[in-house]
């Protein structure tokens, strides 16, 4: 199959699928980019925060409505579970930063990175121990029969992901650009020492960054377990790809992370249907993009190239 | 002919001109001071000459050769060594190792053993010679700076003044023809500065041309043969210390315009 | 019991070869590489393919495995030259995933997820290496380990080793000292990959089979843990780290409780090692040793001159 004999309705269909996937990547990428912006290191455990948030939401949802229900109560239960998942993830993010990253803030660069990898592995395997390795599926709290718009079918789930994704990203952007706390975050990412001299509580800002990033990851985690599946290693690959999305957009750049996520989602969807990359090699697309971007535009699409100051 | 000269050297960062068409001449066996208010482009000038930054225009000629296309390590091998404003030692290596690194490309070994992997096969004897040469040469520089008793300390554990000296020792170990010192006296007390002045003169007497950026006017005026003054990236003076002190433009750059 | 000890000795040897290679990249040069398992996989599959499909002898296949891994080391080394710290780590991780994906999907050559079986035991010095008698294997692997150890020791005790450490400490200052940093970074990557390729080849030949899922991200992490536990930037420490981790992960099998302990426990322990070591003892159990140059010059160099 190639681009030319693909009917345009089908193209539109893939566009919607790609956007949905992209919105999920964007939500995860935001967490990476915010943490990188402030601490200049990759929070390797971000994917596991996502996974644990998803499990938290899943268990609460099933506790509340014993699964496989739809309708009013299920939707309320779903919203409660979503918020619960965000809280759990935020809490985890903040705790992980306290325990595993804060003691290493002045250490050589390799140290926090290795520590983060360690945290990621611990959480992933603990989840496998306690929740089992089998995949679960988060049932839809609503009737997920696809809606037919002309020849395109869109599931209510996809619509929800897109809408919630856009709302969350827009509010984050507003928060960072317009509020005092947002300004404090930007100041901290520019220069921690000066920010603390200006009366900003740097530790609080860092915790806040982890909390927000982790909450967004939890939402992405729940979306992923509805659209795809829920399993202990789900965060690993999703996290990596979202990180790539953040790099594509220019790491440390909020709009860049959103753009990068959407681009990567589209690229993966179209890479499979148009270029005909085998499904099994789908993940390879993201990594190839990463290596190409890093080679030709190492600071991402939206950032200026910066040389190290001598 | 000057040992090193620049022609209209220029470095812009976006719209900001850090170094603006600077042409300077530095003659062999002299000490040249580069002074100017903060942000005048002194360090940027150093960086463009030593290859750690690239100019957006102009030329740098060293021993008659254009060195702008060369990467930093090649420029060092041509005979230009430098120190850094914010000391950049190899912190987790010993004092001795820091100086030995300076001799990295000067090992007195037969040509064919410069290949590290061949060396392994060719036997230890060539590496041994190379190591011996590096060892004794580095000892010489440690002695020069009186660092012998701390040679097995990690560089990061040295007091500040000693770290500055070690950085100079490391640069000298590359056997340079020219030595660029970026604020060598920064953070030193008057007594240490006094010793440093003696050291710099000794280095000049070894036949090494010294160029230094410095804010300590006493040091600059005492030991420099020539002073180059930069202001807003432009060269406003290139003359002897006595002339510089009476140059109205220089006084203005430092003290602001006097209301006549 | 003896068989079991031999098995541990063999695995220590194989991991130590890969670990010393990784230590050269991470410990000495300061480049965080998360794809050592991919180089091992490349080595293992090269050996498997050349010995089964093309009927190469083992030693030719082993050298070839090292070379192929080294070529991939250059390939991944060049683009990553421009990357620092975290970016490099991610790029190598991505490379590892690509390698695994290709191996799983390239059915016609790699036999896909099933892997390749029936790799013949090598014959050399009048001995046939077989799965039953482990002694020749242990001797062979430890001989190769000794060679690799000596090789890397020679590298790090010369100006090359100091150049690598200088790059780790401060790349800009290193280039201002006349060190061609690009050359040494690629050199470290290539050498490390070569050794991983050799380790992979031994792994494949000893097990007489390869399967793609063996060489996952967790294997890279395990090797990294070994180097971190012993102490980055010290080869002897790396070997000690390997010994500790291999013995610790095999003890449950020895005392017969391996079926009670889920495999995840091992990996949780690896994670804990990384976190706790970084916080409380970043230099590792043994740490880096200061070389006594006066002694080296006296003992190893001056007498050679005669």
Contact partners for chain C, using 3 or more CB pairs closer than 8 A, are: A, B
DSSP assignment string, A7-39: -HHHHHHHHHHHHHHHHHHHHHHHHHHHHHHHH
pLDDT for the residue numbered B260: 45
A79-104: pLDDT as tens digits: 999 999 999 999 999 999 999 999 99
pLDDT of residue B54: 86
| Torsion of the alpha carbons at C104, C106, C109 and C113, rounded to the nearest 10 | 20
Give percent above pLDDT 70 in chain A: 91
Interface touch C87/A120, C-beta < 8 Å: no
> Which one is predicted more confidently, C3 or C201?
C201
Taking the C-alpha atoms of residue A83 and residue A289, their distance in angstroms, rounded to an integer, is: 34
pLDDT, tens digit, 9 for 90 and up, residues A192-211: 888 888 888 999 999 999 99
Q: CB C158 to CB B131 under 8 A? A: yes
Q: CB–CB of B210/B31 below 8 Å?
A: yes
- In the predicted model, is pLDDT for residue A298 greater than 70? no
Name residue B12's beta-bridge partners. Answer: B17
Pull the structure tokens for residue A90.
Answer: 């935020």
Q: Checking DSSP bridges between strand B226-231 and strand B209-213, what pairing results, if any?
A: unpaired
Single pTM value for the model: 0.86
Structure tokens at C75: 């390939």
- In contact, B95 and B158? CB cutoff 8 Å: yes
Averaged confidence pLDDT in chain B: 85
Domain count along chain B: 2
- Which chain B residues have a beta carbon less than 8 Å from that of C305? 125, 128-129, 132
Report residue C3's pLDDT band, with 50, 70 and 90 as the boundaries.
confident
- Which helix (H) or strand (E) is C5 found in, with range? helix C2-23
- Give the range among A185-189, B130-134, C31-35, C125-129 with minimum mean pLDDT: C125-129
Chain A touched by C72 (CB under 8 Å): no
* B57 sits in which H/E element: strand B57-62
Do residue B105 and residue C179 have CB atoms under 8 angstroms apart?
A: yes
Compute the count of residue pairs across chains B and C with CB atoms less than 8 Å apart. 117
Query: Chain C contacts of B104, Cβ < 8 Å?
Result: 159, 162-163, 166, 177-179
Cα separations in angstroms, A168 against A24, A208, C279:
11, 16, 35
Q: Does position A304 have pLDDT exceeding 60, yes or no?
A: no
Question: Among residues A93, A303, A128, which one has the least CA distance to residue A216?
Answer: A93
pLDDT for residue B121 is more than 80:
no
Give the integer Cα–Cα distance in Å for B31 and B179.
10
Instruction: Name residue C218's beta-bridge partners.
Output: none
CATH number at residue B146: 3.40.50.300
| Whether residues B170 and B90 fall in one domain | yes
Architecture of the C2-305 domain:
Orthogonal Bundle (1.10)
Q: Chain C window 16-35: which residues touch A at a Cβ cutoff of 8 Å? A: 26, 30, 32, 34
- Do residue B58 and residue B84 come from a single domain? no
Q: Domain residue spans in chain A? A: 3-296
The residue out of B129, B157, B175 marking a domain boundary is B175
Task: Report the pLDDT value the prediction gives residue C26, as an integer from 0 to 100.
Answer: 92
The model's pLDDT over C36-95, given as tens digits with 9 standing for 90+, comes to 999 999 999 999 999 888 888 888 899 999 999 999 999 888 876 777 777 788 888 888
Q: Is residue B194 part of a domain?
A: no
* Residues C63/C70, Cβ–Cβ less than 8 Å: no
pLDDT of res. B210: 94
Residues B62 and B4 in one domain: yes
Confidence of residue A25 (pLDDT cuts 50, 70, 90): very high
SS3 state at B114: helix
Which of the listed residues B175, B195, B229 is the one where a domain comes to its end? B175
Mean pLDDT across B21-32: 91
Give dist(CA C41, CA A50) in Å, integer.
30
Round to whole Å and give the CA distance between A180 and A186. Answer: 10
Looking at the structure, do residues B154 and B85 belong to the same domain, yes or no? yes
Domain ranges across chain C: 2-305
Q: What is the pLDDT of residue C44?
A: 94
Query: Greater confidence, C299 or B136?
Result: B136
Say if CB C233 and CB C23 are below 8 A apart.
Answer: yes
Q: Which of B76, B92, B97 sits opposite C178 (nearest CB)?
A: B76
Enclosing domain of residue B235: 1-70+178-183+210-260
* B43 in A contact zone (CB under 8 Å): yes
Report how far apart, in Å, the C-alpha atoms of A235 and of each of A31, A125, B238, C219 are.
13, 12, 63, 18
Considering the domain architecture, whether residues B60 and B91 belong to the same structural domain is answered as no
How many beta-carbon contacts under 8 Å exist across A and B? 6
Q: Are residues B164 and B220 in the same domain?
A: no
What ipTM did this prediction achieve?
A: 0.87
**Residue of chain C whose Cα is closest to the Cα of B107:** C159
**Interchain CB contact of C292 with B (< 8 Å):** yes
On whether any CB of chain C is under 8 Å from the CB of A113, the answer is yes
Give burial (CB, 10 Å; 0-12/13-18/19+) of A131.
Answer: middle
Average pLDDT over residues B79-98: 91
pLDDT 10s digits, C125-149: 767 777 777 888 888 999 999 999 9
B19 min Cα distance to partner chain A (Å): 16
Average pLDDT, chain A: 85
Q: Say whether pLDDT at B120 is over 70.
A: no
Structure-derived torsion over alpha carbons of residues A44, A50, A52, A58, reported in degrees to the nearest 10: -170
Claim to verify: residue B158 and residue B89 sit in the same structural domain? yes
Interface check for B209 against chain A (CB to CB < 8 A): the answer is no
CA-based nearest distance C50→chain B, Å: 27
Whether residue A308 is predicted with pLDDT greater than 50 in this model: the reply is no
Whether A247 and chain C come into contact, CB under 8 Å, resolves to yes
- Range list of H helices, C34-180: 36-52, 58-80, 85-105, 107-110, 135-156, 159-169, 171-176
Quote the distance between the C-alpha of residue A17 and its chain's center.
17
- The reply to whether C180 touches chain B by the CB within 8 Å rule is yes
Q: Which fold has domain A3-296?
A: ABC transporter involved in vitamin B12 uptake, BtuC (1.10.3470)
């Amino acid at each position: 199959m190639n681009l030319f004999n693909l009917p345009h309705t089908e193209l539109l269909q893939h566009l919607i699928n790609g956007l949905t996937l992209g919105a999920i990547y964007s939500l995860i990428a935001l967490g990476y980019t915010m943490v990188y912006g402030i601490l200049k290191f990759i929070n390797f455990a971000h994917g596991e925060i996502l996974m644990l948030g998803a499990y938290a939401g899943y268990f609460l949802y099933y506790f509340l409505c014993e699964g496989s229900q739809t309708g009013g109560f299920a939707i309320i239960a779903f919203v409660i579970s979503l918020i619960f998942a965000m809280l759990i993830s935020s809490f985890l993010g903040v705790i992980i930063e306290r325990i595993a990253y804060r003691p290493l803030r002045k250490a050589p660069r390799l140290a926090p990175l290795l520590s983060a990898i360690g945290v990621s592995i611990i959480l992933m395997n603990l989840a496998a121990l306690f929740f089992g390795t089998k995949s679960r599926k988060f049932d839809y709290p609503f009737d997920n029969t696809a809606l037919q718009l002309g020849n395109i079918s869109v599931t209510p789930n996809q619509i929800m992901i897109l809408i919630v994704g856009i709302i969350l990203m827009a509010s984050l952007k507003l928060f960072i650009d317009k509020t005092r706390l947002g300004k404090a975050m930007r100041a901290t990412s520019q220069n921690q020492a000066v920010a603390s001299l200006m009366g900003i509580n740097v530790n609080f800002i860092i915790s806040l960054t982890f909390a927000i990033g982790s909450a967004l990851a939890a939402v992405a985690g729940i979306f992923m377990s509805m659209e795809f599946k829920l399993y202990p290693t789900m965060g690993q690959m999703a996290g990596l790809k979202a990180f790539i999305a953040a790099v594509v957009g220019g790491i440390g750049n909020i709009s860049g992370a959103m753009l990068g996520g959407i681009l990567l989602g589209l690229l993966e969807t179209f890479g499979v249907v148009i270029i005909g990359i085998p499904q099994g090699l789908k993940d390879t697309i993201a990594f190839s993009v990463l290596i190409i971007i890093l080679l030709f535009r190492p600071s991402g699409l939206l950032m200026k190239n910066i040389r190290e100051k001598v | 002919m000057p040992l090193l000269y620049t022609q209209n050297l220029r470095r812009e960062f976006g719209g900001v001109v850090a170094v603006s068409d600077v042409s300077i001449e530095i003659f062999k066996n002299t000490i040249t001071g580069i002074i100017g208010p903060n942000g005048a482009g002194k360090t940027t000038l150093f960086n463009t000459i030593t290859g750690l930054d690239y100019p957006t225009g102009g030329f740098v000629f060293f021993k008659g050769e254009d060195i702008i296309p060369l990467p930093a390590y090649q420029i060092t091998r041509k005979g230009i060594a430098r120190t850094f404003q914010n000391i950049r030692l190899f912190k987790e290596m010993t004092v001795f190792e820091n100086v030995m690194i300076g001799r990295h490309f000067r090992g007195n070994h037969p040509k064919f053993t410069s290949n590290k992997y061949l060396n392994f096969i060719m036997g230890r004897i060539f590496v041994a010679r190379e190591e011996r040469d590096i060892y004794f040469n580095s000892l010489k520089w440690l002695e020069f700076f009186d660092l012998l008793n701390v040679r097995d300390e990690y560089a990061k554990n040295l007091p500040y003044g000693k770290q500055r000296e070690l950085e100079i020792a490391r640069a000298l170990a590359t056997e340079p023809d020219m030595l660029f010192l970026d604020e060598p006296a920064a953070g030193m007390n008057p007594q240490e500065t006094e010793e440093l002045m003696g050291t710099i003169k000794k280095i000049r007497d070894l036949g090494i041309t010294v160029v230094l950026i410095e804010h300590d006017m006493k040091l600059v005026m005492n030991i420099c043969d020539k002073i180059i003054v930069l202001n807003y990236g432009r060269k406003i003076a290139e003359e002897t210390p006595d002339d510089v002190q009476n140059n109205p433009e220089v006084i203005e750059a430092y003290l602001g315009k006097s209301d006549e | 019991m003896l068989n079991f000890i031999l098995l541990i000795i063999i695995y220590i040897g194989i991991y130590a070869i890969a670990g010393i290679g990784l230590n050269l990249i991470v410990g000495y040069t300061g480049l965080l590489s998360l794809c050592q398992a991919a180089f091992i996989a490349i080595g293992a599959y090269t050996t498997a393919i050349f010995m089964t499909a093309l009927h190469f002898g083992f030693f030719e296949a082993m050298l070839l495995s090292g070379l192929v891994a080294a070529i991939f080391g250059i390939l991944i080394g060049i683009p990553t030259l421009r990357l620092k710290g975290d970016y490099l780590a991610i790029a190598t991780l991505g490379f590892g995933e690509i390698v695994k994906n290709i191996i799983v999907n390239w059915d016609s050559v790699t036999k896909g997820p099933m892997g390749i079986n029936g790799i013949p035991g090598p014959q050399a010095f009048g001995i046939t290496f077989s799965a039953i008698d482990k002694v020749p294997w242990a001797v062979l692997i430890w001989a190769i380990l000794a060679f690799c150890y000596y090789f890397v020791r020679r590298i790090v005790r010369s100006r090359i080793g100091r150049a690598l450490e200088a790059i780790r400490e401060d790349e800009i200052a290193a280039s201002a000292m006349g060190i061609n940093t690009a050359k040494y970074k690629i050199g470290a990557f290539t050498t490390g990959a070569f050794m991983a390729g050799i380790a992979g080849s031994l792994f494949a030949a000893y097990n007489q089979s390869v399967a793609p899922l063996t060489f996952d991200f967790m294997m890279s992490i395990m090797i990294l843990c070994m180097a971190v536990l012993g102490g980055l930037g010290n080869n002897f420490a790396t070997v000690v780290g390997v010994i500790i981790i291999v013995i610790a992960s095999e003890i449950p099998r020895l005392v017969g409780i391996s079926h009670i302990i889920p495999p995840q426990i091992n990996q949780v322990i690896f994670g804990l090692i990384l976190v706790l070591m970084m916080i409380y003892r970043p230099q590792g159990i043994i740490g880096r040793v200061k070389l006594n140059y006066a002694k080296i010059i006296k003992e190893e160099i001056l007498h050679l001159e005669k």
